[in-house]
Amino acid sequence: MADFRNIMQVLKECGTSRVVKHMEPERYLQSVGAAKELYQNKDEESLKRQKLVFHTPRPVTTENNGVPHFSFGVPEERPHYKFMAHSKKALEDLQLKSDSSLINICQGSDVYIDESREIFPYSLAYAGFQFGEFAGQLGDGRVLNLFDIKDKESKLQTVQLKGSGLTPYSRFADGKAVVRSSIREFLICESLHAIGIPSSRALQISSLPKTRARRSVFEPCAVITRFAPSWIRIGNFDLFRWKQDDEGLLKLADFSINHVFEGLKDYRDTVALNSFSANYFEGTSDTVNNKELRSSKVDDGLTNYDKLFRHIVTLNAECVAYWQAYGFCNGVLNTDNTSILGLSIDFGPFGFMDKFQPQYTPNHDDYNLRYSFANQPTVIWWNLIKLAEALVIPLGVGPSLIDKLPTTNRGEWKDPEIEKISKRATAIINLTGLEYEFRFTTKYADLMAKRLGYDLNIPATLTDDNLKSVAEKVTAFTTDIIEPILRILTVSGVDYNSFFLALQNYDGNFLDEGGINGVDDGLYRVFFNEEQTKKINDYYIGQEQDDSGETRKLIEEAEVLSNWSKDYKQLISDYPERVKIAKQFNPLFIPRNYILESVANHYTDEQRNELNDPDAKLDNGPLQKLILMATNPYDKSAWDSSFLPELEKKWTNVTEDEDLLMTQCSCSS
């Protein structure tokens, strides 16, 4: 721990607040100095104004009646705070000591302010399309961004509190987060990151004794500390589009280019956008299939706004590819929940898919299955189109008109310019949609191949010259290997993520002339359960069946498995090499919904009195055990087998209780 630092030391060395420095605040408080003065004054009049400015929901405007990017705020004071846990991995990545100063700041009992560094807590303003319908002003309704600090890679991370109280953006809510959902989010952030899925992170969770929130019943509350390189989401752009505030929109776009993406330093500029007009994966999904897209061309070079959009599209395409490969369902993919960094954020009714059922949604309020597993790639593209619609003028001006952009209001463009802007923006959107299809499909196939112990050897850098060969390789692997597997799993219903581990650990010969339909008997037990395997075997040895409908389906899939085994056997290297590849991509543990629920119930049911008693000691054992397992999914030795071994055994054996599998949650948290 010698290299770990006290949070106060870190803040003095590298603390900053990029949003406060570069973006436009709400009209009530125009500077850190003004916010600090209001907060530190404790006379009766100041306290009334604090409640109005910091904790009263309202429509927000700037001093000039424009749209602000943020509002200053402070956490609501709670009667009591009780620390529950840190993420050790998060502490390591931020190089922070777990001490009282960190705990107090990360639960909102202490507020850090530094006028010289322009640090004061704030909430972001944004809007959003929720379940396809525009919802107006939203914003951080129970979140305060505290400051930016550098992690161990010297990358700035924005640290924020969730559940810290009312803000101007709380609307009709109470600014609180309940314990059950806070535990779920704390764990899933760290789990996804540890698996390799792009995600925001969680640093700390604290309960709030004597603080309760009304949901279906009164529930105990908590506050969690999250961090990410930025919390800007598509909804931030939706707000300025709605208000037709072009100046504020441009300032947001410039902030994203210069400060979120650091001058687009990681933008991939090795493939011409026009190269995707070939639509290499036409027909592979419903994302952007449209033959008219082939005529789209951009012939005047790309501006930084074009590159910004293209970069955001690529990051989100690859993030959703991870979700699909690992069977993760976000549950609520509104535009205000879609990060421009391509991160999994704002977790509500999420869940890993226990069985491969493409129509599964973990959100029991999602009656139309808009955010089902199968729809996630399409919905993310829909959200990205909304971003493009917000950025239509910056995307349309091109190099020839870009100099006029900062000084020209939308009503001042001339008709020929409007026509040019519209045509160019349409081409950018269409071509980037085809790139989205390419990036998603390629990343998904690459991840699935590695989970299966095979390296597709996708070039680290895509170029105009290798797009076709990559597409051909991906298409062949998808058709011959991935699709047959998913077809079989849909029928057999074996556990999705456990299947990859079972195949990874299978060391049989795959093909066996003496086996069932020429396939090694052991391989059947990877794809089917024991009862199904017996039915298939009985059919092939001529034993009479009493459920011809089910058996017929199983026999069809047995034929698929026979053909798949031949194709797979031709591709794979020897067993050690296959395992070496697969072990890096197949987690030994994922926090399933019923496991998360059991840990939440350990507090809300078994320790309800202790949660509400500020002096009572909590039993955090199950939470600590789950943190260990979730943050070390590939390394069983890090789970500390001597610590609650009965839970480790229980959680690593997938339940057979159908009532606990494929569960759903409410949006209410």
Q: What pLDDT is attached to residue 396? A: 97
* Three-state secondary structure of 243-260: HCCHHHHHHHHHHHHHHH
- Per-residue pLDDT of 620-663, as tens digits, reads 999 999 999 999 999 999 999 999 999 999 999 999 889 899 98
Distance CA 321, CA 438 (A): 11
Structure confidence at residue 278 (pLDDT): 86
Q: Which of 246-260, 274-288, 354-368 has the lowest mean pLDDT?
A: 274-288
Give residue for tokens 């008219």. 292
Average pLDDT value for the chain: 94
CA dist., res. 322 & res. 634, Å (int): 16
Give the pLDDT confidence score for residue 285 in this predicted structure: 46
User: Does the pLDDT of residue 603 top 80, yes or no?
Assistant: yes
Three-class DSSP category at 181: helix
d(CA 592, CA 366): 20
Spacing of C-alpha 70 from chain mean position = 23
Position 296 scores a pLDDT of: 76
Rounded to whole angstroms, the Cα distance separating 137 from 615 reads: 40
92: Cα separation from own chain's centroid:
21
**336 noted as active-site residue:** yes
| Cα angle 165, 167, 173; round to 5 | 70
Give yes or no for residue 291 having a pLDDT over 80.
no
pLDDT > 60? residue 290:
no
HEC string of 485-538? HHHHHHHHCCEHHHHHHHHHHCCCCCEEEEEECCECHHHHHHHCCHHHHHHHHH
Q: In sequence order, what DSSP letters do the residues of 198-265 get, joined into one string?
A: -B-EEEEEEEEEEEEEESSSEEEEEEEEEEES---BHHHHHHHHHHT-HHHHHHHHHHIIIIISTTTT
Tokens read off for 147: 């400051």
Q: Which of 151, 336, 346, 495 is catalytic?
A: 336
Token duo for residue 153: 């890679």
The rounded distance, in Å, linking the Cα atoms of 413 and 395 is 14
Q: Residue 267: exposed, middle, or buried by beta-carbon count in 10 A (0-12, 13-18, 19+)?
A: middle
Q: State percent of the chain over pLDDT 90.
A: 89
The 8-class DSSP code of residue 168 comes to T
Amino acid letter, residue 608: R
How far apart CA 170 and CA 54 sit, in angstroms, is 11
Q: Is the pLDDT of residue 287 over 70?
A: no
User: What type of residue sits at position 421?
Assistant: I
Query: pLDDT tier at 258 (50, 70, 90 boundaries)?
Result: very high
Q: How many other C-beta atoms can be found within 10 angstroms of the C-beta atom of residue 572?
A: 15
DSSP 596-618: HHHHHHHHHTTTHHHHH-TTSPP
Tell me what the mean pLDDT of segment 64-79 comes to. Answer: 96
Cβ neighbours of 8 (radius 10 Å) = 14
Statement: residue 605 has pLDDT above 90: yes
Q: Is residue 28 predicted with pLDDT exceeding 50?
A: yes
pLDDT tens figures, 542-595: 876 777 688 999 999 999 999 999 999 999 978 999 999 999 999 999 999 999
Report CA-CA distances (Å) from 345 to 88, 207, 340.
20, 21, 11
Whole-angstrom Cα distance, residue 466 to residue 273?
A: 14
Q: How far apart are CA 153 and CA 13, in angstroms?
A: 15
CA 268 to CA 372: how far, in whole Å?
Answer: 30
- Phi, psi dihedral angles at 127 (to 5 degrees): -120, -155
Give percent of the chain above pLDDT 70.
Answer: 96
Helix, strand and coil percent figures for the chain, each rounded to 5: 50, 10, 40
pLDDT per position as a tens digit, 159-216:
999 999 999 999 999 999 999 999 999 999 999 999 999 999 999 999 999 999 999 8
